[in-house]
Amino acid sequence: MKCSFFYFCLFNLLEFHAMQEIGSNHAQSLGFSTDGFATTPTMRKMHLIWVTARMHIEIYKYPAWSDVVEIETWCQSEGRIGTRRDWILKDATTGELIGRATGFIPKANLMWNGCSKWVMMNQDTRRLQKVSDDVREEHLIFCPREPRLAFPEKNNKSLKKIIKLEDPAQYSRLGLTPRRADLDMNHHVNYVTYIGWVLESMPQEIIDTHELQSITLDYRRECLQDDVVDSLTSPEPIDGTGTVSEHNGTAREDADCPQFLHLLRVSCDGQEINRGRTEWRKKPAR
């Protein structure tokens, strides 16, 4: 499915919301449910919904005011372990690639290996379930016959494991609470909201001078309307050594591209909601 829209806001969360909306519109156009869950007949019969397990997004260029962006998305089979969804973002006028994202729906025991992922959850028990053959077959008829990946490169960044950010974090924003607009149809916090919460604890000097280049998020537990959330951020350690440079970010030859680790947790008991990793680049000269 392809869709074009006028980019009327420079805040990058709009791009993520557009990807989510187009994915939902694609599912609806294929005849899946219109309740916001994109569920198949078998899923509705078994009280199953999709939940996000991992999201990886790379942004190569931010559109300017009034630019028209084309977003293409598709779903496909991922062997015997489930299905996946990918996105490609292009400048509609020039055809220039400006962003990519990827996601797939794996078995529960593969939840934290590899690309951006989704899993099925039972609405009644709140437990994760494997993608059944019946559900997979309902998707297969709409999938490309030949595999097509938004990130076909071997060892691409979407495959990188995110280590847990340990206390004490260098930066924090405490006491975040969901708004009604942050909730999906199942009264969970929408996965795009987590991106905004991650950015809340970024150091202001990076926000002022850099722009987000890539983000990877692992979703560990559901977040509900009454939860209070803490956002923690620290520079990423160098190759797992636990040390960082004096610059606000991981020590690299290119100090203009800092990297950070992130953790969202429940304020009252410290339960891990989400862990993330971001890369940043210097803002282009205006």
Kindly list the catalytic residues: 186, 188, 223
What's the angle, vertex CA 107, arms to CA 104 and CA 110, rounded to 5?
A: 85
The dihedral sign for the CA sequence 277, 21, 141, 37: positive
d(CA 282, CA 166) in angstroms, rounded, equals 27
CB 106 within 8 A of CB 117: yes
Q: Among all chains, which residue has been given the structure tokens 């210097």?
A: 282
3-state secondary structure the chain: CEEEEECCCCCCHHHHHHHHHHHHHHHHHCCCCCCCCCCCHHHHHCCEEEEECEEEEEECCCCCCCCEEEEEEEEEECCCCCEEEEEEEEECCCCCEEEEEEEEECCHHHCCCCCCEEEEEECCCCCEECCCHHHHHHHHCCCCCCCCCCCCCCCCHHHCCCCCCCCCCCEEEEEECCCHHHECCCCEECHHHHHHHHHHCCCHHHHHHEEEEEEEEEECCCCECCCCEEEEEEECCCCCCCCCCCCCCCCCCCCCCCEEEEEEEECCCCCEEEEEEEEEEECCCC
